[in-house]
Amino acid sequence: MTLLTTILAETHVVHEIPMPPLAYGAVALAVFLVLGVATWTYRDVANRHSQKFNRGGHDTHDAGH
């Protein structure tokens, strides 16, 4: 080994990641699951509240708005 390769080998710095690689995937999966549940809870909200706007017997569909 020459002096240059010895110096280069000793100055090589390894930066370790704080978590195992599979943990990053697990965190991403958990975030997407939480976002999916939040989206799922808003399903059919417009249909639940359509009676509030339909008072007086007026049909709000095809009203030209």
Burial class (CB in 10 A: 0-12, 13-18, 19+), 3: exposed
Looking at residue 28, its pLDDT comes to: 98
Q: What is the pLDDT of residue 64?
A: 55
What tens-digit pLDDT sequence spans the chain (65 residues)? Answer: 688 877 777 766 778 899 999 999 999 999 999 999 999 998 888 777 666 666 655 555 655 55
2: its two tokens: 């020459």
* The pLDDT of residue 39: 93
For the chain, percent helix, then strand, then coil, each to nearest 5? 60, 0, 40
pTM greater than 0.85: no
At 33, list the tokens. Answer: 């699951």
